[in-house]
C-alpha cells in the first residue's frame, strides 16, 4: 500500500455509492456507507447486494473485514477525512430538485474539520458545487472551502452491468474549487482508479457530465423517431442500423427502445436545459426535442400493441399483457426511471391486465407507486396465457427460445428474438 489509508464517508449507497465504497475498502480505506433507506441498510449489513456490479460475496467480505460499515446513524460520519456525496438529483415538476444534496451537505458539515475534503459525485447543473454545496458547508461549519477544507466535483461514469469498462479502468474526471482542492481530490481518486483526468474547475467537470449524457439522449431520440417513421414506411430500421454500423468512421451505433431510463438520461439533460434557461433565458432546443421524443416512446409502444392486438381480432381492454423486464437496462436491477412502469400504467389505464417478470428487480427496493404489475415467473403456461408479450428489457436470464415457442404474440422492443410470425419488432 503506497498511501496512508483514510477514513472515508460515502453518503448514498446506490449504484454509485456502493461501488465506490467497495473499491475504497478493497484498497485499504476505512469506509462508512451512509444510507437513510432502512431496507438497504438491512440488506447491506446482511451482506446481500442489490447492485449487480457488487457481488454479495464481495459485500460480505467487506463487511466482515471491518473496513466497510453500512450505517444510517448520523454519528457514524464523525471523524472523516474524505466525504463523497453520491445522492440522487431528480426532477420535481420539471425543475432540478437538489434537496438530497442540501440534506447531505448539512449532514457532512456537522462533522467537517480543517483539512478534510468533500467531493460531490451526483450529476447536476454547472455551478452547483461552488454556488450551493460550498456555501452550505461553509455556513453550517464556519470553515472556508479551499482555505480550511478541500472541495471538489468528480462526476460518476459508472455504466451498470458493463464488465469491460469498470469504475477502476474508466478515466475519472476530477476537479476542485482551487488548486489545493484539485490536488487532494486527484490524490484520493488516484488510490481507487487507474487514471484520473483533471479539468480546470468544477463547472467544467459538471458540464462534461451533462455533455456526455445529453449526447446519448439526443442520439437515442434520433433513432427512436427514425424507428417510428420506418415502421410507417414498412422499412426494417434494425437492418439499416446494422448496415450503418459497418462504416468505420463518422458514425456511432445507437438503437431504438421503449424509452430511456435510469437516473441519467431522463433527468440529466434537463438539468442543462434548465440552467441555460435560468441563467441565459434561452431554450436548449435539442434537449427539449429529445425529451419529448424519448418520453413519448412508452405511449408509442402501447399504441403498437393496441394495433397488433386489433389485427389479431382482440381489443386491448381485457387482454392480458406480460412485460418481460422492469429494469431500464439489461442484466441490472436498476429500475429508476424505467419505461416499463410507464408502459404498465398506460396499459392498465386502457383496461389491460398487466403482469411482469424480472429476475433482477427486487420488490422490496421498488417504490410503492411503481409496484402495479403483478409479478410472475416466465413459464410456458404464463406465455401461452398472455394475449401479448412485450420484451422491454433484454435480460440474458430470459429463455428466448421458450418465449418464441409459446407466446402467441411478442412485441420485441430490443430486437432480441428471432424473426417469426408471432414476433413484431419496434
pLDDT at 264 over 70: no
Same domain, 195 and 219: no
Query: pLDDT, tens digit, for every residue of 68-92?
Result: 999 999 999 999 999 999 999 887 7
- Report the CATH number that the domain containing residue 225 is assigned in CATH: 3.40.50.720
Same domain, 244 and 365: yes
- pLDDT category at 192 given cuts 50, 70, 90 is very high
Same domain, 226 and 349: yes
pLDDT at 277 over 80: no
Query: pLDDT, tens digit, for every residue of 354-405?
Result: 999 999 887 655 555 555 689 999 999 999 999 999 999 999 999 999 999 9
Position 313 in a domain: yes
pLDDT at 407 over 90: yes
Model pLDDT, residue 265? 56
pLDDT at 116 over 60: yes
pLDDT at 181 over 70: yes
Position 2 in a domain: no
Same domain, 175 and 301: no
Position 206 in a domain: no
- How many domains does the chain divide into? 2
Same domain, 257 and 324: yes
Model pLDDT, residue 262? 62
Rounded mean pLDDT of 124-143? Answer: 95
Which one is catalytic: 133, 207, 264, 378? 264
Rounded mean pLDDT of 104-112? Answer: 97
pLDDT at 415 over 90: yes
Same domain, 182 and 221: no
The segment with the largest mean pLDDT, out of 96-100, 327-331, 335-339, 411-415, is 411-415
Model pLDDT, residue 159? 87
Same domain, 261 and 339: yes
| pLDDT, averaged across the chain | 92
Angle at 355 between CA 229 and CA 372, to 5 degrees: 95
Model pLDDT, residue 369? 55
Residue-range definition of the domain harbouring residue 158: 7-199
Task: Provide the percentage of residues in the chain whose pLDDT is more than 70.
Answer: 95
Position 209 in a domain: no
Model pLDDT, residue 4? 83
Position 210 in a domain: no
Higher local confidence (pLDDT), 367 or 296: 296
Same domain, 177 and 237: no
Same domain, 239 and 271: yes
Model pLDDT, residue 367? 53
Query: C-alpha cell of 215?
Result: 449526447
Model pLDDT, residue 1? 53
Is 117 catalytic? The answer is no
Same domain, 272 and 344: yes
Position 106 in a domain: yes
Same domain, 233 and 374: yes
Amino acid at each position: 500500500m503506497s498511501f496512508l489509508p483514510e477514513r472515508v464517508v460515502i453518503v448514498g449507497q446506490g449504484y454509485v455509492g456502493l461501488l465506490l465504497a467497495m473499491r475504497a475498502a478493497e484498497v485499504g480505506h476505512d469506509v462508512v456507507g451512509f444510507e437513510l433507506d432502512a431496507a438497504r441498510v438491512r440488506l447491506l449489513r446482511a451482506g446481500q447486494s442489490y447492485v449487480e456490479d457488487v457481488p454479495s460475496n464481495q459485500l460480505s467480505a467487506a463487511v466482515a473485514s471491518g473496513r466497510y460499515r453500512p450505517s444510517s446513524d448520523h454519528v457514524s460520519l464523525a471523524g472523516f477525512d474524505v466525504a463523497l456525496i453520491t445522492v440522487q438529483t431528480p426532477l420535481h415538476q420539471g425543475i432540478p430538485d437538489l434537496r438530497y444534496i442540501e440534506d447531505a451537505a448539512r449532514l457532512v458539515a456537522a462533522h467537517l474539520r480543517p483539512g478534510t475534503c468533500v467531493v460531490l459525485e451526483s450529476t447536476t447543473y454547472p455551478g452547483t458545487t461552488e454556488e450551493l454545496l460550498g456555501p452550505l458547508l461553509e455556513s453550517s461549519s464556519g470553515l472556508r472551502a479551499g482555505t480550511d477544507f478541500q472541495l471538489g466535483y468528480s462526476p460518476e461514469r459508472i455504466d451498470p452491468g458493463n464488465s469491460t469498462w469498470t469504475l477502476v479502468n474508466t478515466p475519472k474526471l476530477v476537479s476542485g474549487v482551487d488548486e489545493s482542492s484539485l490536488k487532494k481530490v486527484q490524490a484520493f481518486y488516484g488510490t481507487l482508479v487507474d487514471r484520473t483526468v483533471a479539468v480546470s474547475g468544477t463547472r467544467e467537470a459538471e458540464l462534461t457530465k451533462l455533455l456526455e449524457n445529453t449526447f446519448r439522449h439526443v442520439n437515442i431520440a434520433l433513432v427512436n423517431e427514425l424507428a417510428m417513421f420506418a415502421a410507417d414506411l414498412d422499412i426494417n430500421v434494425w437492418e439499416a442500423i446494422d448496415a450503418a454500423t459497418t462504416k468505420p468512421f463518422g458514425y456511432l451505433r445507437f438503437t431504438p427502445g421503449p424509452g430511456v431510463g435510469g437516473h441519467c438520461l431522463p433527468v440529466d439533460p434537463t438539468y442543462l436545459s434548465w440552467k441555460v434557461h435560468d441563467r441565459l433565458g434561452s431554450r436548449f432546443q435539442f434537449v427539449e426535442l429529445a425529451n419529448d421524443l424519448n418520453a413519448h416512446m412508452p405511449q408509442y409502444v402501447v399504441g403498437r400493441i393496441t394495433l397488433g392486438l386489433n389485427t389479431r381480432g382482440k381489443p386491448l381492454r381485457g387482454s392480458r399483457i406480460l412485460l418481460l423486464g422492469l429494469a431500464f437496462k439489461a442484466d441490472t436491477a436498476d429500475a429508476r426511471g424505467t419505461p416499463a412502469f410507464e408502459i404498465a400504467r398506460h396499459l392498465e389505464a386502457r383496461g389491460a391486465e398487466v403482469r411482469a417478470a424480472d429476475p433482477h428487480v427486487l420488490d422490496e427496493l421498488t417504490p410503492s407507486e411503481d409496484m402495479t404489475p403483478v409479478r410472475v415467473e416466465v413459464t410456458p403456461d404464463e406465455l401461452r396465457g398472455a394475449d401479448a408479450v412485450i420484451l422491454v428489457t433484454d435480460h440474458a436470464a430470459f429463455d428466448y427460445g421458450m418465449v418464441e415457442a409459446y407466446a402467441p404474440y411478442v412485441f420485441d422492443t430490443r430486437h432480441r428474438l428471432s424473426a417469426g410470425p408471432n414476433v413484431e419488432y419496434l
